Structure 1
C-alpha cells in the first residue's frame, strides 16, 4: 500500500455546493445516502489520478474493471459522512466487494465493514478524529507502514509483536483481500523478475566499467527495468521496492534506491 495524499484532491466549488445540499437531504432523511452515488462517481477520475490508476488498497491496476469509489467509513454506517470527499477511496473490485478467497474459502473484501479496536462509533465529524478504528487507511502516512510482505508475495504484519499494530495489519489483509491468490502470484512473479534483473546486472557490473558499449547498454537495461517497477505509478511498487532493498548490499542498488 502506497500513501495517497488526499490534499491533492480539490473538487470544484460547484461540486462542493451540490454535495453540501445533498448531504443536508441525507441528514434530514429526505433521501438515502446510496441514492447520491452520482455525486461521488463524478470524482472517480480525480481519485484515480491520485494513484496513477491503481487501487489505493492493493496497488493493482485493473484496466478491465470499473473499479469503485469506496467510502472508507461505509455510508450505511456513517450516512453523515457520505458526501465528504475526504471519505472517498479509489478501490478495485476485490478490495471493495465481498468475495470468497478461492484458496481459503473464507469471505474477504471490505464491503460495509469498519471494525473498531475499542470505543464507540463516531457520530459526527469531530468524533471521527478520535475514533479508534482498525482498518489501515492509505491516506494516513503512519498507517501504510504497518504492512509487510514475504518474498513469495504474501502480505503480513510489519510489527507482529506489537498487539494493536499487528491486529490492524492482519485484519486489513482480510478486509482488503490483500491475500487473494491472484495478487500473491503477481507479487511473487514480480519478485522473481527483480531477482533476475539484479543478478544479471550484478554479473556485468565490473565489466561495465571497461568501456564496452554492449555491456553498458545491457547493464542500463537491467537497471531501467528495476527503476520502472519501483516507480510510484507501477503496480505493486511498494512491494517491489521492498524486494529491491533486499539487494542494497550492492552499491549500485543502493544508489538506485537513493535516486528513486
Structure 2
C-alpha cells in the first residue's frame, strides 16, 4: 500500500471537469440522506467518477497494489470502494467466511452499526478503487475502529475521531501507509513494534490479507527481477548504457505506477543499507519465481 498523491482541491476540480453536475447531485443526495437518517438505495452514480480514481491510482488496487486492467474494462475489474461502509457495519473479524477468521485484534474494537456512514456515501474522500478481492470479498461491510463510531459524520475529517484501524491511502487525510507498514522481502510487516501505529499496521495487514500466498508469489517475481537489476547495475566495469538500462528498471519498480511499489521501495532501501541481507532475500525471491 502506498499513498495515492492528490490534494483535495485538485480532486474536486478533476471531478467537476469530468462530470460538471456530479458534486451538486452528490450534495443533494447527501441532504436527502440527512433527512431520512440513513442510506437509501436508489439510482447511485458514484461510478460516474470512477475514471478519476483509476487515473490517480495508476490502475492499481488501493490496498494490495495489484495492477488492474485498463479503463476500457473498468466496469468489470475496478470497483468503487466506500472506505467507510455506507449502509451498515458488521462485526470484524468475522466468525466464518473469507476474512481474517481466527485473527485476534490487538485492541478493543468499536461495535457494529445498522446505520453505516450514510452521510459519506457521496463524499469524494470516502472513495478509492479496489480489486474485487479486497473490496467485495474482504472489505465488504467491515470497518474496525477503536472508539465509538461516528456514523453521523458529514466529513471524513470528523470521522477520524473514531480512531480507525484501517489506513486510508488517498491524499493526506490519513498518514502515509509507508510510515506504518514496511516490507521484509515479500512480507508486509508493521514498521513499529508496539503502540497505536503497530496495531493499525497489524490490523490492516490481516484485514486485507496482504501476506496471502498469491500476493507473496507475485512480489517474489518483482524482487527477483529487481535484485538482478541492482546486482547487474553495480557490476564493476559495466558499460554506461547497461547501467542506465538497469537503473531505469529500478526506478520504474519504485514509481507510483509500479505494481507493488511499496515492496520495491523497501527492497531498494535495504539493498543500500544492508546489501548482504538484500542478496539473501533477492536470491530466495529469484528462486521462488523461477
TM range (shorter): 0.7 to 0.9
The answer (yes or no) to whether the contact 1:3–1:141 under 8 Å persists in 2 is no
Q: What is residue 105 of structure 1 aligned with on the other side? A: none
Q: Which one of 247, 252, 260 corresponds to residue 271 of structure 2?
A: 247
Residue of structure 2 in register with 1:73 after alignment: 84
Partner of 2:29: 22
CA contact (8 A) 1:72 1:89 kept: yes
1:50 corresponds, among 53, 56, 62, to 56
Q: Give the gaps of 5 or more residues in structure 1.
A: 99-108, 209-214, 251-260
- Matched with 2:47 is 41
Unaligned runs of 5+ in 2: 88-115, 275-290
User: Per-residue displacement from partner, 1:62-90 (whole Å, max 9, x unpaired)?
Assistant: 21652211111110111121111111111
- Give the match's secondary structure for 2:134: helix
1:202 aligns with 2:208: no
Shift of 1:6: 5.0
Change (3 A) 1:78 1:229: same
Q: Give the superposition deviation at 1:32.
A: 4.4
Alpha-carbon distance between aligned partners in 1 of 2:260 and 2:40, rounded to the nearest angstrom:
33
Hey, what does 1:92 align to over in structure 2?
A: 131
Q: Within 2, Cα distance between the matches of 1:35 and 1:239? A: 40
For these two proteins, the number of residue pairs brought into alignment is: 230
2:248 counterpart of 1:236: no
TM-score by length of 1: 0.80
Q: Cα offset for 1:216?
A: 2.3
The structure whose RCO (Cα within 8 Å, separation 6+) is larger is 2
Q: Alpha-carbon deviation of 1:31? A: 8.6
RMSD: 2.3
Distance 1:36 1:179 in 2: 37
CA distance in 2, matches of 1:172, 1:74: 16
Q: Deviations over 1:117-170 (max 9, x none)?
A: 12343422264142211111113452412111121x12111112x232122111
User: Which residue is equivalent to 1:102?
Assistant: none
1:1-260 residue pairs with structure 2 within 5 A? 1-4=1-4, 5=6, 7=8, 8-10=10-12, 11-12=15-16, 13-29=20-36, 32-37=39-44, 39-63=45-69, 65-76=76-87, 77-98=116-137, 109-125=138-154, 127-139=158-170, 140=173, 142-144=175-177, 145-151=179-185, 153-160=186-193, 162-203=194-235, 206-208=236-238, 215-248=239-272
